[in-house]
Amino acid sequence: MKGKNTGGKGGPKSPKIVPVWWIYVAIGGLILSFQFFNMYNGPTKISSDECYEFIKKGEIKRVIIVKEGDYAYCEAYVTEEAKTLPDHQKLRKGGYYQFDIHDASDAKNEMNKLSKSSPDQGENFTIVSRNKQPSMWDNLFSYIIFFGLIIAIWMFMMRRMGGGGGPGGQIFNIGKSKAKLFEKDTTVDVSFKDVAGLAEAKEEIVEIVDFLKNPKKYTVLGAKIPKGALLVGPPGTGKTLLAKAVAGEAQVPFFSLSGSDFVEMFVGVGASRVRDLFKQAKEKSPCIIFIDEIDAIGRARGKNPAQQANDERENTLNQMLTEMDGFGSNSGIIVMAATNRADILDKALLRPGRFDRQIMVDMPDLNERQEIFEVHLKPLKLDDSVEVDFLARQTPGFSGADIANICNEAALIAARSEKKFVGKEDFLAAVDRVIGGLEKKNKIIKPKEKKTIAFHEAGHATVSWMMEHASPLVKVTIVPRGKSLGAAWYLPEERQITTKEQIFHEMCATLGGRAAEEIIFGEISTGALSDLEKVTKQAQAIVTIYGLNDKLGNISYYDSTGQSEFAFGKPYSEHTAQVIDEEISKIIEKAYMKAKDILLENKEKLTQLTPIISKSKFMLGDEFSMIDAALAPLLWRLDYYQISLPDSAAPLMKYAERVFSRPAFSEGLTAHEKIMRR
What is each CA distance from 253 to 281, 319, 537, in whole angstroms? 8, 22, 47
Residue 66: helix, strand or coil by DSSP?
strand
Structural domain includes residue 242: yes
Name the more confident of 565 and 377.
377
Backbone angles phi, psi at 626, to 5 degrees: -70, -35
| DSSP letter (8 states) at residue 235 | T
Query: Lowest mean pLDDT: which of 82-91, 142-151, 408-417, 479-488?
Result: 479-488
149: pLDDT strictly greater than 90 = no
Beta bridge partners of residue 101, listed in sequence order: 72
Q: Are residues 580 and 640 in the same domain?
A: no
Which residue range(s) make up the domain with 456?
A: 447-562+571-619
**Residue 627: pLDDT over 50:** no
CA atoms of 115 and 124, how far apart (whole Å):
10
Q: In whole angstroms, give the CA distance from residue 308 to residue 548.
A: 42
CATH code where residue 406 lies: 1.10.8.60
User: Do 235 and 296 belong to one domain?
Assistant: yes
Known catalytic residue at 207: no
Side by side, the strands of the sheet bearing 473-477 are 487-490, 473-477, 618-620
Give dist(CA 644, CA 638) in Å, integer.
8
- Report the share of the chain in percent with pLDDT over 90: 17
Residue 353: closest CA among 332, 327, 314, 317: 327
Contact between 412 and 433 under an 8 Å Cβ cutoff? The reply is no
Q: Residue 329 above 70 pLDDT?
A: no
Is residue 152 in a domain? no
3-class DSSP assignment, residue 571 = coil
Q: What pLDDT is recorded for position 139?
A: 61
459 sits in which H/E element: helix 447-466
Position 667 pLDDT exceeds 50: no
87 occurs within a structural domain: yes
Per the model's pLDDT, the better-predicted residue between 565 and 48 turns out to be: 48
Q: Do 661 and 641 fall into the same domain?
A: yes
Residue 519 reports pLDDT greater than 60: yes
Residues 548 and 483 grouped into a single domain: yes
Q: Could you give the percent of the chain with pLDDT greater than 70?
A: 70
DSSP string over 516-552? HHHHHHSS--GGGHHHHHHHHHHHHIIIIIS---TTT
386/413 same-domain check: yes
Domain final residue, candidates 619, 641, 658:
619
One domain, residues 614 and 640: no
Length of the chain: 678
Asked whether the beta carbons of 542 and 557 are under 8 A apart, the reply is: no
Domain count of the chain? 5
Residue 411: pLDDT band (50, 70, 90) is very high
> The domain spanning residue 129 has which CATH number?
3.40.1690
Q: Is the pLDDT of residue 168 over 70?
A: no
Dump pLDDT digits (tens) for 282-328. 888 888 899 998 988 888 877 554 545 457 788 888 888 888 876 55
Same domain, 375 and 468: no
DSSP state at residue 440: -
Say if 23 falls within a structural domain: no
Q: Does the pLDDT at position 664 exceed 90?
A: no
The answer as to whether 14 is a domain residue is no
Strands 228-232 and 287-292: unpaired
What 8-state DSSP symbol labels residue 627? H
Half-sphere exposure of 81 (CA within 13 A, CB side): 9
Listed residue (81, 84, 76, 80) closest to 114, CA to CA: 76
Distance CA 494, CA 496 (A): 7
Q: Are residues 125 and 181 in the same domain?
A: no
Boundary (domain end) residue, out of 360, 380, 401: 360
**Same domain assignment for residues 577 and 651:** no
Whole-number Å distance between alpha carbons of 251 and 456? 59
Give the residue from 386, 404, 436 where a domain finishes.
436
In a domain, 227, yes or no: yes
Mark whether 221 and 83 lie in a shared domain.
no
CA-based angle 289:295:298, to the nearest 5?
A: 80
Domain assignment present for residue 29? The answer is no
Q: Pick the catalytic residue from 457, 506, 517, 583.
A: 457
CA–CA separation, 403 and 390 (whole Å): 13
- How high is the pLDDT of residue 516? 93
Return d(Cα 666, Cα 193) in angstroms, integer: 31
Query: In a 10 Å sphere around its CB, with 0-12 CB exposed, 13-18 middle and 19+ buried, how is residue 462 labelled?
Result: buried
Confidence of residue 579 (pLDDT cuts 50, 70, 90): very high
Lowest mean pLDDT among 94-108, 227-241, 641-655: 641-655
Same domain, yes or no: 348 and 371 = no
More confident residue, 102 or 317: 317
Secondary structure (DSSP) of 158-196? HHHHTGGG-TTSSGGGTTS---EEE-TT---S--GGGS-
Domain match, 245 and 187 both? yes
For 289-322, give the DSSP string: EEEESTHHHHBPTT--S-GGGGHHHHHHHHHHHH
Residue 24 lies in a domain: no
Residue with the bigger pLDDT between 436 and 540: it is 540
